[in-house]
A and B are shown apart, each in its own frame.
Chain A
Amino acid sequence: MRIHRLVLDDFRGVAHRELVLPERGVVVLEGANEVGKSSTLEALDMLLTEKHSSRKAAVLAVKPVHRDAPSAVEAEISTGPYRFTLRKQWHSRPATTLTVHAPRTEQLTGDEAHQRVRDILTETLDQDLWDALRVLQDASPGAARADAALSGSSALAAALDAAAGSAPVDASGERAQSLHAAAAERAGQFWTATGRPTGRHRTCAEELAAARTEAARAREALDLLSDDADRHAELTADRADVQAELTVRAEEATALGELVADLAGRRERLAAARERSSAAARAAAEAQGALAVRRREAADLARRTAALDQDVARAAELGPAAEADEAEAVAAATAAQEHAAAQDAAAEAADAAHEAVRRATDRAALRRVRRRLAAVAAAADEVRTAAAAVAGLRVDAATVRSIEAADDTVRRLRARAEAVAARVVVEATAVEVLVDGRPVAAGTVAEHAATRPLSVDVAGFATVRVLPGADTGPVADELDAAEAGLRELLAAAGVEDVPAARAAHEERRAAQAAVDLARAQLSQLTADADADALRAEAERLAADLGTGPTTGPTTGPTTGEDDLPALRAAEAAAREAVQEKRSRGRDVQARAAALARTADGLAHELTALQTRLELSRTEVATAAERLATARAATGDAELERAAAETGDAAARTDAEVRALETDLADRDEATVLRRAREVQTALDALSGRRDELDDALVLLEAKLSVMGGEARQEAWDEAESRVQRLAEEQAGLERRAAAARLLLRTLDRHRDTQRRRYVQPFTDRLEELGRTVFGETFAITLDDDLRIVQRTLHSRTVAYEHLSTGAKEQLAVLVRLACATLVDPADGVPVVLDDALGHTDPERLKRLAAVFEHVAPTTQVLLLAPGPGLHTDLPGAVVLRLDDGPGEGSGPAVRTPAAAGASTG
């Protein structure tokens, strides 16, 4: 497709614009933003796709804002063999006019014109390619993949086929595609996208399964009917068998019935005979009984009479014997009484002897107690006496020790006083001299210590006074005090001097010892009983003996000593006598009792005998009378005869019964009866079985009648027919489904193989163009759908998603240019780049320009740019400047880059 001319009137902000485009090469539509560059492309799309009558929002939106004027677009386009001019006006006075210039002239208007253009485009334009080779401003490279939709293009596919050298450059690729599409549609009739049966393929299988179930059910119903018919036949046969058996059994039962009746007659006769027999037996028994009674009564009377006689004799014997026994018993009782009295006397004597012994013993004890009491009193006196002596002696151990201490002090002081005092030695030569009044005999010498003033009188001659020295005085005073103290102590103790004190003390110690001894004696005497207890014992004994007072000095025995051993011997002798008497007494009494019992027994027997005698006599009399009366009525001989006659009759009837019994036994009645019962039971069972069979048959017939009316055969036939039909249909469907799937899969696989072959030429071209921009290290990897997987630069490989926006937009442009150069010029469409390189730096732009140059000779490239940029480096590019100014609309502004440079410069 080529666009030769494009005219816009009142389209969005554009009042009028006319663009005349060269057939190939780069055309730059240059203009500031908002000037309506994109509107130009929008206008072209709208012209080709929207009817003039369209009220779509997109169509309404292009109406100019400030003027009430219809929008109109006109274009002259060549595509395939066609070249036409199309004009459409929207909003008011909508209209479409089409003038086809080639291959032959046509003139159309209205919807017809629109439809014609659609047909032409469908026939000649690769819509996928047209869509693919545009990079629009609003579809930023970041949002849509640079390489989107390329693989769908049949023109590209054909070009790639050509490049791959694998197929002739004709419409074959397209035909393959359309076959693929048809195959896919065909497979879609049978299979879902996920490979499950669908449509009739699925429902037929389901219906077949359902029909099979239904057929099985119908078959079952049919078989049931047939089974029931068979069962009916079986039961009918069974019933016939049962009936036959019944007949046989019934005959047997009749024969047995007769036998049983005969037996019953015989049994009745037997019963009658037994009746007679038992009556005869009873009569015989009665006669026999009467005879036996008579005999017994006679015998009884005889026995009683004999017993009576015996008793009379015995009574006569017993009378004297009883009297003798009585006398003997009385004598023995008397002897027993006498012996008992003697026994009592002996016992009394024994008791007296025992008392004598006791009293003698008590007396001896009383004497011992009294003696001991006397000893206790003496010991107590001794204690009292000794204690009194001790109380009279005052010098005790402490007194002696204080006296001896005072005496020691005096001696010590005296020695000291004498040592310091002047020694006065008086030698009485001729006359007596008095020293302190004490004479010193002549011819003797007296020596004194002058501790005190001392006077020495020489019988009138002189008195010499010796005065103690000054240092003698205190000692002498101390001595005097000590001596006075000693004297006081002595005086208090009542002794003369120290030795006397010692003697007094010794005396007191001896007296104390005597006290202690006496107390010890007393204590020993009263160790097991004190005096009071002893006195109480003495009083008790005395009271028992009936003697005088227990106190008092009765220490000696008041009577002569008793001879205890003698007394004890007397007691023992007395007890022995008592023992002997008792023993003897028992024998005597036993004998007396025995004699008494014997006498009593005899007396009783005699009495009883006499009583019985009386009774017996009466009875014997009565019995004799009764027997006589009976004999008078029926004589003994008469009774004997009756018994014999009835006995004979009983024997006869009994024989008759036995004969009948034997006859019955011989006929084996039990077996006959059992057999009859068995036959009857069998008959009952058979008859029950027949009734059951009849019931079952009636039921079955009713069932068969009902089932027969249900057309089960047809139901099954119908179901089976349906199964067959569906099975056939299903087989056909499966066959077709398998074929469709196989075809589609095979086509898919080959298409994929083919596509992989496309990839290489496309990659080659892309890399060739890319090296111009990115340098010699540029390499690219594409997938089967011709989508960029990754880019390599300087040996660094980057996944497409991670490329920069600039790189992506450059690749987007390159992909389209590569594509455009691959496509046959006849199939080609304009490459449209709307402001597509906003993120590309000037250096890259310059390199891209070289690529455009490479593309320009074969392809129409529309480049929309906001200002001079890329295209300034594009030699030969046609620049159309778009201005919203009043100048626009006067005609196309066609310039060379140089001219553009001049105009902007």
Chain B
Amino acid sequence: MRFVHTADWQLGMTRHFLDADAQPRYTQARLDALQRIAAVAREHEAEFVVVCGDVLESNAVGPKVLARTADALAAFAGTPVLLLPGNHDPLDAGSPLRALAAWPGLGHVHVLDTPGPVAVREGVEVVAAPWTSKHPTHDLVAAATEGLEADGTLRVVVGHGAVDELSPDREDPARIALAPLEDAVADGRLHYVALGDRHSTTQVGRSGAVWYSGTQEVTDRLETDPGNVLLVTVSDASPPKVEPVHVGRWAFPVVRAELDSAADDDALGRRLEALPAKDRTVLTLALTGTLTVRAGAALDDLLAAQADRLAGLQHWARHSDLVVRADSDELADLGVGGYADAAVAELSTLAAGDGPDAAAARDALALVFRLAGAAR
């Protein structure tokens, strides 16, 4: 029995670091990924698709997002799509999921609105652990799987949330206890646990049957290996076979570089130049090192040029430590002359120090370079 495991579509998501131009493209990309998931399902003759929570970014997404989601879901026609309400879109009174399932032409789309097993076909059950509020007070998966017997039925648990092994929050009453699930798998009561919440494709536990599929399209630079869906093959006898299939098109890479010379600038320039699909790339830079004012100005120019081409460019402040220093030769070369030389010297001293104006002084020096350059 084969099915597709995906989660955390979070349709309607906005990334604040994307500008007005990039955001619509990104939004579209997240929707477009659904087409590819549908293609994967068809291609591998998956019996159904489970979406393990957070189908929507929020219950408050507007009609436009819903309409476009419905359109995207239409691509799955012929393959049942089981939507699990997650923490972003809990099945409360404001949930648009039911409306989505009732959309004309989406007869293959179902909302897993009741905790517990539901038969997909003879001998195959999906055990749903839907979220009905944003703050569940117990382990929903444990509750949904309670009392199930090893009776030969193939069971796929569909849940959402952090498992206790991964969650640092011991006080969270909704943490999913992993060990009982693994026991159940070992006992043959359960056969696969499909989870949502982590955006990175992650296997947890030792059974090989408990997985987070990750989000279909990257959402954060911290994610490792996002943009996958899992093609899962379950049989009564053997552990499940899990194959990640990449469907994402965007990348949020982090580029770390130590810059100490104009040559380093150039090297970085080449690295950035080599980045593929810049319009689908949100770059995070973590730059360290010490640059001359001139090299610093050159870096600024370089980054300004790349920023225009990338979907987004961010500096990772916590991992950045780039110092721009003015050295005397450089200033002499600049040769602004007269009293300006003395002024530049003063700014250099200021920039080299760690006073409150040091940063402004470095910027002022860079400005001198730019203005003097323009003046010549």
Residues of A at the B interface (CB closer than 8 Å) are 161, 167, 170-180, 182-183, 186, 222, 225-226, 228-230, 232-233, 236, 697, 700-701, 704, 707-718, 720-721, 723-725, 735-736, 738-743, 746-747, 749-751, 753-754
Contact = CB atoms under 8 A, between A and B. Distances in A.
B371 A750 contact: no
Nearest to A743: B364
Interface in B24-38: none
A713 B58 contact: yes
Contact of B371 (A182, A704, A707, A742): A182
Contacts of B342: 750, 753-754
8 contacts: A175-B340, A228-B94, A701-B93, A711-B63, A712-B60, A735-B359, A749-B343, A750-B342
B364 A742 contact: yes
B16 A225 contact: no
B339 A708 contact: no
Given A711-B64, A742-B364, A750-B342, 9 more contacts: A186-B371, A229-B94, A230-B133, A233-B93, A704-B93, A711-B61, A715-B62, A743-B364, A747-B340
A222 B58 CA distance: 10
Interface in B332-356: 335-343, 346-347
Given A226-B134, A714-B61, A750 B340 contact: yes
Interface in B176-218: none
A230 B92 contact: yes
A754 B338 contact: yes
A743 B371 CA distance: 11
A738 B360 contact: yes
Interface string B311-341: 0000000000000000000000001111111
A741 B367 CA distance: 11
Nearest to A235: B93
A740 B96 contact: no
Contacts of B338: 161, 167, 172-177, 754
Given A176-B336, A735-B363, A724 B16 contact: yes
Contacts of A173: 337-339
A170 B337 contact: yes
A111 to B, nearest CB: 29
Nearest to A720: B16
A269 B337 CA distance: 127
Contacts of B336: 172, 175-176, 179
Contacts of A712: 60, 62
B368 interface: yes
B59 A711 contact: no
A729 to B, nearest CB: 10
Contacts of A172: 335-338, 341
B337 A721 contact: no
Nearest to A709: B63
B364 A746 contact: yes
A452 B134 CA distance: 194
B75 interface: no
Interface of B: 12-20, 23, 57-65, 90, 92-96, 132-134, 335-343, 346-347, 357, 359-364, 366-368, 371-372, 374-375
Nearest to A181: B375
B65 A711 contact: yes
Contacts of B63: 709, 711
Nearest to B374: A182
A753 B345 CA distance: 14
A708 B60 contact: yes
A229 B64 contact: no
Contacts of B61: 711, 713-714
B20 to A, nearest CB: 8
A178 B190 CA distance: 79
A226 B375 contact: no
A712 B93 CA distance: 16
A709 B62 contact: yes
B159 to A, nearest CB: 20
B22 to A, nearest CB: 10
B375 to A, nearest CB: 5
Contacts of A229: 59, 90, 92-95, 133
Contacts of A176: 336-341
B67 to A, nearest CB: 11
Contacts of A174: 337-338
A513 B23 CA distance: 170
B94 A232 contact: yes
B62 A713 contact: yes
A720 to B, nearest CB: 6
A534 B102 CA distance: 157
Contacts of B94: 225-226, 228-229, 232, 704, 707-708
Contacts of A171: 337
Contacts of B17: 724
A160 to B, nearest CB: 11
A241 to B, nearest CB: 16
B368 A179 contact: yes
Which one of A747, A751, A753 has the greatest number of beta carbons of chain B within 10 Å?
A747
Which one of A179, A230, A707 has the greatest number of beta carbons of chain B within 10 Å?
A179
B314 to A, nearest CB: 9
Contact of B60 (A186, A707, A740): A707
A747 B368 CA distance: 10
Contact of B367 (A183, A701, A713): A183
A217 B372 CA distance: 46
A467 B12 CA distance: 203
A49 to B, nearest CB: 27
A230 B134 contact: yes
Contacts of A747: 339-340, 343
B174 to A, nearest CB: 15
Contact of A721 (B16, B343, B357, B360): B16
A100 B336 CA distance: 33
B14 A186 contact: no
Contact of A714 (B62, B359, B371): B62
A701 to B, nearest CB: 6
A233 B132 contact: yes
A462 to B, nearest CB: 197
Across the A-B interface, the 5 shortest Cβ-Cβ residue pairs: A711-B62, A172-B337, A176-B338, A739-B363, A717-B14
Contacts of B62: 709-715
Nearest to B359: A735
A746 B343 contact: yes
A181 B336 CA distance: 12
Contacts of A183: 367-368, 371
A175 B335 contact: yes
A704 B92 CA distance: 10
Contacts of A222: 58, 60
Contacts of A232: 92-94
Contacts of B64: 711, 714
B19 to A, nearest CB: 6
A697 B93 CA distance: 9
Which one of B337, B339, B361 has the greatest number of beta carbons of chain A within 10 Å?
B339
A171 B92 CA distance: 76
A179 B372 contact: yes
Contacts of A186: 367, 371
A721 B18 contact: yes
A717 to B, nearest CB: 3
A721 B340 contact: no
A226 B337 contact: no
Contacts of A230: 92, 133-134
A364 B62 CA distance: 154
Given A226-B134, A742-B360, A750 B339 contact: yes
Contacts of B132: 233
Given A175-B340, A232-B93, A724-B17, A226 B60 contact: yes
A233 B12 CA distance: 24
Contacts of B13: 717
Contacts of A161: 338
A736 B61 CA distance: 38
Contacts of A225: 59-60, 94
Nearest to B357: A742
